[in-house]
Amino acid sequence: MEQFNESALFELYDAVSAEGGVSLIELRGMLDDFSNRPRSSDDVQAYREGRKPWKKLHDEIVPVERFLSATYAGQTIVRFPLNDQPPDAWVTADDGPAVGIEVTGALARSSVEVAKGLADGGAAPGFIGLQDDAKQSAFDAARSRKRITHSRKGIEDSIDRSITDRLEAKDKEKFFGQILLITAPIGSSPGRDLSEMAARFEQRAALLPFAQVFLIDSGIGKLLVQLK
């Protein structure tokens, strides 16, 4: 089977950014192709870390597909401008108006540092609870400790603090009527009460100009929490 390399990636980018977009069914097929075809170890690691040119796929396209697959019909149309301007995607359902989807990541820098640990070989930290504004030296130290045990409360506090930061950062009128999708490592706290999690943030989310606000697990899980 032919490798999914940068050439195939750019073909995917061309398709999803075309004027008419693609159906959700078509997008699923493209991502299945990405998942099932072999990739070089360098490309696998670049995707894990969200490095260019894989960044748009990692940060925007995959989370949006997972969100849409959980909430929309297969004939829904989605287009990704890929132009570094908000929103990250436009979705059109049931012949209605296009609605923007803005994607942002809670503990996004932490996820990159966890991915870097996988490249080092051996035991790697499964969770790093440092906030995005921490110094690089702190992340380096966390990676060097390899895999350690975290308290459930410590994990949840780190996640919640970063989610709050993302909600505040996206409180801008230019997003009026759109959908906010926050990726977060929800699965790092298995069995967490998602209704309690929604209640924790719903008051802050209600103040945002977005029509809807969701949390989605940044891992391979299917956890989705609606905050607004």
**Which position has the higher pLDDT, 66 or 95?**
66
Residue 147 reports pLDDT greater than 70: no
0.85 surpassed by pTM: yes
Banded pLDDT at 140 (limits 50, 70, 90): confident
Determine the Cα–Cα distance for residues 104 and 170; give it in Å rounded to an integer.
Answer: 9
**What's the maximum distance between 2 C-alpha atoms anywhere in the chain?**
52
pLDDT for 104 = 98
pLDDT for 210 = 98
Tokens read off for 12: 């995917």
Residue 103 reports pLDDT greater than 80: yes
CB-based contact 187:106 (threshold 8 Å)? no
Residue 122 reports pLDDT greater than 70: no
| Average pLDDT score, the chain | 92
Work out the average pLDDT over 198-214: 97
Helix (H) or strand (E) holding 34: helix 24-36
Determine the Cα–Cα distance for residues 215 and 225; give it in Å rounded to an integer.
Answer: 5
Residue 57 reports pLDDT greater than 70: yes
Work out the average pLDDT over 112-128: 76
pLDDT for 191 = 87
Residue 31 reports pLDDT greater than 90: yes
Banded pLDDT at 42 (limits 50, 70, 90): very high
Tokens read off for 49: 């870390």
CB-based contact 104:182 (threshold 8 Å)? yes
3-state secondary structure of 132: coil
Helix (H) or strand (E) holding 164: helix 152-169
- 52-60: which pairs have CB atoms within 8 A and are 24 or more residues apart? 53/6, 53/9, 53/10, 54/9, 56/13, 56/80, 56/82, 57/9, 57/12, 57/13, 59/103, 59/105, 59/108, 60/88, 60/89, 60/103
Residues 158-189: pLDDT tens digits?
999 999 999 999 999 999 999 999 999 998 88
Helix (H) or strand (E) holding 70: helix 62-71
Residue 124 reports pLDDT greater than 80: no
Report strand pairing: 212-217 vs 99-105: unpaired
Banded pLDDT at 76 (limits 50, 70, 90): very high
